[in-house]
Amino acid sequence: MSLIYRTAGESHGPALVAVLEGIPSGLPLTPEDIDTDLARRQLGYGRGGRMKIEKDRVVVKSGLRHGQTLGSPLTLEIPNLDFPNWSEDRMAVWEPSGDVDPITLPRPGHADLAGMLKYETDDLRNILERASARETAARVAAGGVAKALLRRYGTAIRSHVVRIGPEAWTPAEQPVLSDFAGVDESPVRCLDPEASSRMREAIKTAGQSHDTLGGVFEIVAFDPIPGLGSHVSGDRRLDGRLGAAMLGIQAIKGVEIGAGFELGRIPGSEAHDEIYHDDARGYHRRTNRSGGLEGGMTHGGPLVVRAVMKPISTLSRPLASVDILTKEDRPAFKERSDICAVPAAAVVAEAEVAFVLAQALVEKFGGDSIGQLDAAVERYREQLA
């Protein structure tokens, strides 16, 4: 049995949808399992006006009865509350009654121009609506289900921001689970109050300059089951699957696991996590430069993934572009947008990491029902003891 999901929907269309297949029957779910993260995705200093319109809540369309999954496809819908303002013209589902002017000024750094060339359209609305990061609300909904599955087996996933633009914070030690208790209270989701203040000021300055900022965030999965993933083929290595999931998020341009690029600077004697054993803890490490993965498999330590998000490509003072109809030099198209969305991107990345781990868990242990999955995990843990 494999666990997969697909999303559908446009930024200003009627709704966003996620369809999950492969979730075992009998998994208990509550609205809060999904809605809490949907709300967290809308947080963060530097978000645009759209977040004042949308109040993302999940509507389950199939696959759930009496708060438990059925084993059939699970369909999750997030209505777009802004759609009625667009439904008669710009995003009319059927042929509109009047003319709608095409948008012909692609933005540097966006999917606009490449998408217009690929899909043979002279209206970039056809591209930007699906390319928009609004789509990630559906990913977060799917991730909420994956998190509920992982929590059942003791895995918790958290995130925090370590850089926004020029302002960065490097923790002296890898944060532990309890450190994340108040992370969402920070306007930029940074664990350090002083750094949080500096990051917020950087966003404010960028906004005043009609600019945007990117940054770096870190995802930590605590207590993953050892042995998820495999070394036997490249496409089964968890490193590669996590990298693909991160880079599939809009505006993500780089990923590292554990010490990442730093490992290219230091010698092997400093790079690897020495192995210890005692009766109480079993096999364990005193460092985690590997980020919880060796040979494409979890080894039981915290899984640590870091990613960089580029600055948002819609600027209130647009960059240079070319009108695709006239070929004249013109400023790029400008639409309502954020100044910085790094804190929100970290929540999206939590969902992606959760889904990759949930996929690997279902692949390893199988079972059509939660009871079967529970029994398989328990047998494996007895074997590891």
- CATH code of the domain in which 331 resides: 3.60.150.10
Q: Are 90 and 80 in contact (CB under 8 A)?
A: no
Domain span at residue 28?
4-94+102-384
Start-to-end CA distance of the chain, whole Å, equals 27
Q: Is 118 helix (H, G, I), strand (E, B) or coil?
A: helix
Q: What is the dihedral of CA 125, 127, 129, 134, to 10 degrees?
A: -150
**Nearest alpha-carbon partner for 20 in 336, 272, 351:** 351
Q: What is the pLDDT of residue 280?
A: 86
Note the pTM of the prediction, 2 decimals.
Answer: 0.95
How far apart are alpha carbons 154 and 372 in whole angstroms? 17
DSSP bridge pairs for 257: 305
- In this predicted structure, the answer to whether residue 224 has a pLDDT above a threshold of 70 is yes
Cβ(164)–Cβ(213) under 8 Å? yes
Domain count, the chain: 1
What does each C-alpha distance from 306 to 292, 300, 350 come to in angstroms?
13, 18, 11
Instruction: Please answer whether residues 221 and 280 qualify as being in contact, where contact means their C-beta atoms are separated by less than 8 angstroms.
Output: no
- Does residue 354 contact residue 143 with C-beta atoms inside 8 Å? yes
pLDDT confidence of residue 1:
60
User: What tens digit of pLDDT does each residue of 237-257 get?
Assistant: 999 999 999 999 999 999 999
Structure confidence at residue 49 as a pLDDT band (50, 70, 90): low
> DSSP class of residue 225?
P
Q: H or E segment at 74?
A: strand 74-79
CA 259 to chain centre: 20
Q: What per-residue confidence (pLDDT) applies to 153? A: 98
pLDDT of residue 270 exceeding 80, the answer is yes
The predicted-structure confidence for 160-215, as pLDDT tens digits, reads as follows 999 999 999 999 889 999 999 999 999 999 999 999 999 999 999 999 999 999 99
Q: Which residue has the higher pLDDT, 316 or 215?
A: 215
Look at strands 68-69 and 64-65 and give their pairing: antiparallel
